[in-house]
Amino acid sequence: MNKTILLVIVIFLLVALTSCSDKAQATPTAVTIVYSGNLDGELEPCGCSEAGDLGGILRRASKLVELRKQQPELFLISSGSLLANASPRDRLKSEYILKGIAAMNYDAIGLQWRDLSYGVDFINITPLPWTVFNWKKNNIFPPQRNIRHGDVELAFFTWLEPENSPFRQMKGDHSPVQGNTDQLQKALQQAKQNRAVTVLTTSLTLDQATKLVALNPVDILVIKSAYEEYGKPVQQGKTLILQPGSRGMRLGRVDLKVDEKGNIVSWQHDIIPLPENIPDAPFLKAWYDEYNAKVKAAYLASVEQRKLQQSGQSPYTGSEACQSCHEKAYEIWSKSLHARAFERLEEVGKSFDPDCIVCHTVGFEQPGGYIDARLTMHLLNVQCESCHGAGKAHVDSQGKESTPNAAWQKEKICTQCHTQPHSPEFHFDSYWTRIAHE
């Protein structure tokens, strides 16, 4: 009888221990992923409006330090498109964007076509964890990255779509990427079998991506970025769909619970804004000072070049010439923020940045326009000719010859500078009241 009771007790304990072990194994593991995409060459925000004063590498770096203190094992990833090539100045800016991003220790960065604007060698000067699965020469960019933080492994993949290749119109097969997705599908399945949390990034839309691969082995799909604002996450089957914003104005954060196979059990998503009250990262001060010094040096060199090229009489007169005939309009202008626009650049140390000067002076980079504060002091600030066009012919003819922009609608005049990136809350009817004049 005692042996029977003892046997029952032993069996009961074994069942209880097995049950506890199963429950322990079934306890989900917490995972935090901070993600971004499509910085699009925005090293720092335009500070001309409160709504547009979001983001920038200095604030992002500072916020990431804070987030890592809270969660040291977070994963930091980007879907790429860090650079821009809209103007000759973007090459210098791109060089410093790469250096700034490198200081943040990203775990993986997807490659997009815009990142190749200055060639493969340019982006590889600064070591970054670029990833692209379908690059033909895998010794240049790894096809995937496996990152382990704590008890979790994340397998990161990026698909660079061949249909958007800048090489597609060239004769012959010059594209550096291949378009067959069979190997990508197998790699995703293998990573899933290895119990990794799988992440696939692409600049395709959700519909395009679902035609690209079967999503069953993809835990997180990062799709084409939305403009500025992050998209709302959705779950499709077992796959969580994320859509980054652009221009580096915000960061996305997703907190996951994953099971022992790396499958998502639950998730919570937050968007992290980067407003002006976030301090600049102190460890990037030398980087930022060096960048500004090089921008200033390039600007001063261009000033000297323009002095040599400048010949003949300038078509610009400056606002003082307008005052005698347009006294009321001049008085309104002189009390407006337009009349002190250049001072604002000096206050924030950007009076040598051509990207800012162009909208804070008259005729910058135009024949006879603003060169620098010493040589062309009369063309500082946003003046009459910033809106109405060069006015010398109008003044010399005593008003008989119209200004160049006389036929323009007011909205067109304002949106020369009040664009979405610089003035996101611009609404003509409310803004016009601040400067309204005949």
Q: What angle do CA 332, 337, 339 make, to 5 degrees?
A: 70
Q: What is the model's pLDDT at position 26? A: 66
Confidence band for 420, pLDDT divided at 50, 70 and 90: confident
Residue 50 has pLDDT above 80, yes or no: no
Residue 138 has pLDDT above 80, yes or no: no
Cβ–Cβ < 8 Å for 335, 409: no
Strand partners, 5: none
Residue 173 has pLDDT above 50, yes or no: yes
Per residue in 283-294, pLDDT tens? 999 999 999 999
Residue 127 has pLDDT above 80, yes or no: yes
What distance in Å separates the CA atoms of residue 308 and residue 304, rounded to the nearest whole number?
A: 7
Q: What is the model's pLDDT at position 169? A: 61
Per residue in 300-318, pLDDT tens? 988 887 876 676 688 899 8
Strand partners, 253: 34, 270
Mean pLDDT, residues 324-353 taken together = 88
- Candidate from 88-102, 191-205, 385-399 with smallest mean pLDDT: 385-399
**Order of strands across the sheet with 152-159?**
144-149, 152-159, 197-202, 220-222, 239-242, 234-236
Confidence band for 21, pLDDT divided at 50, 70 and 90: very low
What distance in Å separates the CA atoms of residue 436 and residue 438, rounded to the nearest whole number?
A: 7
Q: What is the model's pLDDT at position 12? A: 56
Residue 15 has pLDDT above 60, yes or no: no
Nearest alpha-carbon partner for 370 in 345, 401, 349, 347: 345
Q: What is the model's pLDDT at position 244? A: 98
Q: What is the model's pLDDT at position 22? A: 47
Residue 202 has pLDDT above 90, yes or no: yes
Mean pLDDT, residues 145-154 taken together = 96
Nearest alpha-carbon partner for 79 in 241, 282, 298: 241
Radius of gyration of the chain (CA): 28
Mean pLDDT, residues 75-102 taken together = 94
Q: What is the model's pLDDT at position 24? A: 47
Confidence band for 365, pLDDT divided at 50, 70 and 90: confident
Residue 295 has pLDDT above 50, yes or no: yes
Q: What is the model's pLDDT at position 269? A: 98
**Helix 90-102 × helix 57-70 angle, to 10°:** 10
What distance in Å separates the CA atoms of residue 85 and residue 81, rounded to the nearest whole number?
A: 11
Residue 166 has pLDDT above 60, yes or no: yes
Q: What is the model's pLDDT at position 23? A: 46
Mean pLDDT, the chain, integer:
89
Q: What is the model's pLDDT at position 4? A: 62
Mean pLDDT, residues 246-268 taken together = 96
Residue 259 has pLDDT above 60, yes or no: yes
Residue 141 has pLDDT above 90, yes or no: yes
Give CATH superfamily name and number for 316-432.
Flavocytochrome C3; Chain A (1.10.1130.10)
What distance in Å separates the CA atoms of residue 194 and residue 215, rounded to the nearest whole number?
A: 17
What distance in Å separates the CA atoms of residue 434 and residue 425, rounded to the nearest whole number?
A: 15
Domain residue spans in the chain?
28-163+172-282, 316-432
Amino acid identity for residue 226 in this structure: A
Cβ–Cβ < 8 Å for 42, 247: yes
Confidence band for 83, pLDDT divided at 50, 70 and 90: very high
Confidence band for 346, pLDDT divided at 50, 70 and 90: confident
**Sign of the dihedral through C-alpha 280, 246, 75, 101:** negative
Tell which wins on pLDDT, 346 or 134.
134
Cβ–Cβ < 8 Å for 203, 225: yes
Nearest alpha-carbon partner for 55 in 273, 232, 217, 268: 273
Strand partners, 202: 159
Tokens of 433: 């009241």
Residue 25 has pLDDT above 60, yes or no: no
Task: Using a pLDDT cut of 90, give the percent of the chain over it.
Answer: 58
CATH annotation of 28-163+172-282: 3.60.21.10
Model-level pTM?
A: 0.82
SS3 per residue for the chain: CHHHHHHHHHHHHHHHHHHHHHHHHHCCEEEEEEEECCCCCCCCCCCCCCCCCCCCHHHHHHHHHHHHHHCCCCEEEECCCCCCCCCCCHHHHHHHHHHHHHCCCCCEEECCHHHHCCCHHHHHCCCCCEECCCECCCCCCCCEEEEEECCEEEEEEEECCHHHCCCCCCCCCCCCECCCCHHHHHHHHHHHHCCCEEEEEECCCHHHHHHHCCCCCCCEEECCCCCCCCCCCEEECCEEEECCCCCCCEEEEEEEEECCCCCEEEEEEEEEECCCCCCCCHHHHHHHHHHHHHHHHHHHHHHHHHHHHCCCCCCCCCCHHHHCCCHHHHHHHHCCHHHHHHHHHHHCCCCCCHHHHCCCECCCCCCCCCCCCCCCHHHECCCHHHHHCCCHHHHHCCCCCCCCCCCCCHHHHHCCCCCCCCCCCCCHHHHHCCCCCC
